[in-house]
Amino acid sequence: MKPDDLWFEGGTLVFAAVCGVIALVLLRLLFRERITLQGSMSYLAFLLTLGSMAVFPTLWQRVASYFGFTLLSNFFFVTAIVGLVILHLRSLVTLSKVHLRTIALTQELAILQEKLDRVDARTDQRRSA
């Protein structure tokens, strides 16, 4: 058996199938509007890249050697780490936007509450007078 035939044994095809199932779940969540399109596109690109590494190992071996990696596994782990770093960065950006929006909404609510208290105070003064 040649080393190129080992990927048919099931190891990489199983990994590609797992990536495909996760991508289908992601698309289902996207169509049911449980997640946003903006956040899911990076994750889908990450899954497609890792899945394509399992389906086309010889192509990715050439890409890895172009980048200076001797083993495809090292290139795979570097690609996975970079993908996870990008996903984490996108999550931080989203959380920061939500945090800033929460602060703004809290301040707006406090201003509205103060205005409502002033209107109630004026109404009480008019009733007592």
Among 73, 24, 72, 74, residue whose Cα is nearest residue 47? 24
Q: Domain boundaries in the chain?
A: 3-128
Per-residue pLDDT of the chain (129 residues; tens, 9 = 90+): 455 555 455 567 788 888 889 989 988 988 888 888 877 888 888 889 988 988 888 899 999 999 999 998 899 999 999 999 998 998 898 899 999 999 999 999 999 999 999 999 898 888 887
Q: Check if the beta carbon of residue 64 is closer than 8 Å to that of residue 72.
A: yes
What rounded mean pLDDT belongs to the chain? 86
Torsion of the alpha carbons at 25, 31, 32 and 35, rounded to the nearest 10: 70
